[in-house]
Amino acid sequence: MPNQSKLTHQKLKPKSEIVEPLSERELEVLQLIAEGLTNPEIAARLFLSLNTVKVHTRNIYGKLGAYNRTQAVARARALGILPSI
């Protein structure tokens, strides 16, 4: 049963903190997402492959507990990672 209590504790964890901080590159990608750039545009701007941008985006979603770009940006703003508009 210890696993069950651990899962319950994780579910109750406040959303005001990030378990793992975003890397410098993830922050760059997040900023460009906030500016409205698409994945191909981000790839061109940062001289990355499209697949690499997708991996960074997926990591950002996971770290912020987001399911899409809008949620990721909103959560980052709420946490003070990105400036509010």
Say what percent of the chain tops pLDDT 90: 73
- For residue 16, pLDDT over 80 is answered with no
User: Domains in the chain, please, with CATH?
Assistant: 23-85 (1.10.10.10)
Q: How far apart are CA 28 and CA 30, in angstroms?
A: 5
Q: Region 24-48: what's the mean pLDDT?
A: 98
pLDDT band at 9 (very low <50, low <70, confident <90, very high): very low
Query: Is the overall model pTM greater than 0.85, yes or no?
Result: no
Q: How far apart are CA 81 and CA 23, in angstroms?
A: 12
